[in-house]
Chain A
Amino acid sequence: MPENSLFTIFLNGVFIENFILIQFLGLCPFLGVTKETRSAVGMSAAVIFVMTIASAVTFAVASFLLIPFNLGFLELIAFIVVIASLVQLVEYIIRKHLPPLYKSLGIYLPLIASNCAVLGLVLLNRIQDFTFVEGIVFGVAAGIGFGIVMILMSAVRERSSLVNIPSSVKGVPYAFFAATMLSMAFVNYFEVIPL
């Protein structure tokens, strides 16, 4: 995709470079928090939120601290520290000022502090040399892509709790089968058929 318009970046983030099913990032919440649609929605909202802010803040850290001093090789460590403390800070703020939001996101925020999907996002932002705005758009898109897959998966698993499944594949194995199907659908649809 030669053109780097914001729209293509957005579509890229949601579908073609989907974080869970194509890049295999953030698999822990993908299997851990998808037993119920409600918690999957909460987790997805928290991820969209954190990814957007993380894109902005890490852009600032990279362009004002790491690049001027030629310390690009430290970005991995610096970003981990920044993201983890950012999540903590955001948690403080919404607990104080937005208690309803805290109630719905609260338990999921700490789970994201060291989530590889968020770190992967900010590193991809750097690798692709995104500008500030492009980075934020990619962050929102990645979050939404994450959310779509989480909701799909939770719907499949919720439904599967009613179905009579052989006991040997009940639970996690079943989730892995479902994940395979979903992943194949995404890969085939968005990579084999060029958009």
Chain B
Amino acid sequence: MSTTTIIIQSIAALGGLAVVIGVILVMASRVFKVETNPLVDEVMDVLPGANCGACGYAGCGEFAEKVVEESAPIAGCPLGGFEVEQKLGGILGQDVGGETEPDYPVVHCKGGVDCVDRFDYVGIEDCKAVMMLSEGEKQCNYGCMGRGTCVRACPFGAITIGEDRLPKINFNLCTSCGLCVASCPNDIFSLGPLSENVHVRCRSHDKGKVVKSLCSKGCIGCKLCVKVCPEDAITVTDFLAEIDQEKCTACGLCIEKCPQDTIEFRE
């Protein structure tokens, strides 16, 4: 076989292959065409694109699809806040509600260094890992372990562990995404707007005597706050005070009265 035949055959074979494949692919792209909504791309451009998952969907892409399908609210992106909601309303022709206040996390534990350890923990420096060892090293089963799982969960660097071994929230960096709430194995965080100012900084449902022996800052369920509150906003269930934020007027009487200093204004 001469060189020319080889060259011609090679070109013919590969060229033929390429043409056949090309035709098949073009046909396939026509036959299997999936209609995509151009609105989805427009919505994607408006979203922050952090893929933080705070909306409850797997990334901004899925949220954009759901918003266009109208199965997710245009206010659903906590990271984008009111600004994104307005833009989305413009694109999709939906009415924008009033501006809602952003939610910020509250740390429901004041124990920290004051909370006594049951044993010396040596191992992976992570609250979830500590929790695997008989509900954690702290005497109190409801308390913050201060090993920074929330610090690592926060994509915006808004949380630091202070000297008291408790998480501190930097409200300037916080975007209300709520990932810290989900990350905490002891459910220490709750979300609320800054106008909800008075909080019971304890999660313990232990009896008052038990709490008193473990922690100088925990709620002992003494009900002094219930008696002093002029608005009847406080209830005590299972030895833990709870504030109904809709009734609370932030008068501060309960804060003065609380013998354990558990109830506090948000710092």
Chain A residues within CB distance 8 Å of chain B: 61, 65-66, 69-71, 74, 77-78, 81-82, 85, 88-89, 92-93, 95-97, 162-164
Known A89-B24, A164-B125: A70·B13 in contact at CB below 8 Å: no
Query: B21, A85: Cβ atoms under 8 Å?
Result: yes
A61, B18: Cα distance in complex, Å: 12
CB-defined contacts of B91 to chain A, threshold 8 Å: none
Which of A77, A89, A95 gathers most chain B CB within 10 Å? A89
A-contact bits for B1-37, CB 8 A (1 contact / 0 none)? 1000010011001100110010011001101111000
CB-defined contacts of A78 to chain B, threshold 8 Å: 13-14, 17
Query: B1, A70: Cβ atoms under 8 Å?
Result: yes
A192, B86: Cα distance in complex, Å: 66
Give the residue of A88, A97, A162 whose beta carbon is less than 8 angstroms from that of B129: A162
Q: Closest CB of chain A to B262's CB: distance in Å?
A: 32
Query: B34, A95: Cβ atoms under 8 Å?
Result: yes
Can you offer 6 A-B residue contacts whose CB atoms are under 8 A? A71-B9, A78-B14, A92-B28, A93-B32, A96-B31, A163-B124
Give the residue of B1, B13, B31, B129 whose beta carbon is less than 8 angstroms from that of A65: B13
Asked whether any CB of chain A lies closer than 8 Å to the CB of B126, the reply is: yes
Asked whether any CB of chain A lies closer than 8 Å to the CB of B128, the reply is: yes
Q: Closest CB of chain B to A67's CB: distance in Å?
A: 11
CB-defined contacts of A71 to chain B, threshold 8 Å: 9-10, 13
Known A70-B1, A71-B9: A95·B32 in contact at CB below 8 Å: yes
Known A78-B14, A78-B17, A85-B21: A93·B129 in contact at CB below 8 Å: no
Nearest A residue (CB) for B21: A85
